[in-house]
Amino acid sequence: MDDDKAAAIANALEALHMNQTALRSAVEEVSTWIRQRGSVSVHDNVMTTLEALDLQASVLASAIERLRS
């Protein structure tokens, strides 16, 4: 793969990664608000799902690093 294509892919993945991180933060904030109002099980389910999102975020970060090296 040429350097221009790798850079474009890395830039696109980085933008997706940043959006994913921002959405994760917003969802966690709403989930905390829900927990504070008594729905602990909903919060726990959201946090479990966010753990999977974190795993995917690390996969994106690794791909970005490989493309930029």
Domain extent at residue 61: 3-68
pLDDT tens, position by position, 29-67? 999 999 999 999 999 999 999 999 999 899 999 999 999
Question: What was the pLDDT predicted at 43?
Answer: 97
Which pTM value belongs to this model? Answer: 0.81
**Domains identified in the chain, total number:** 1
d(CA 58, CA 44): 22
In this predicted structure, the answer to whether residue 12 has a pLDDT above a threshold of 90 is yes
- Enumerate long-range contacts of 1-7, CB under 8 Å, 24 or more apart: 6/67, 6/68, 7/67, 7/68
In this predicted structure, the answer to whether residue 1 has a pLDDT above a threshold of 80 is no
Radius of gyration of the chain (CA): 16
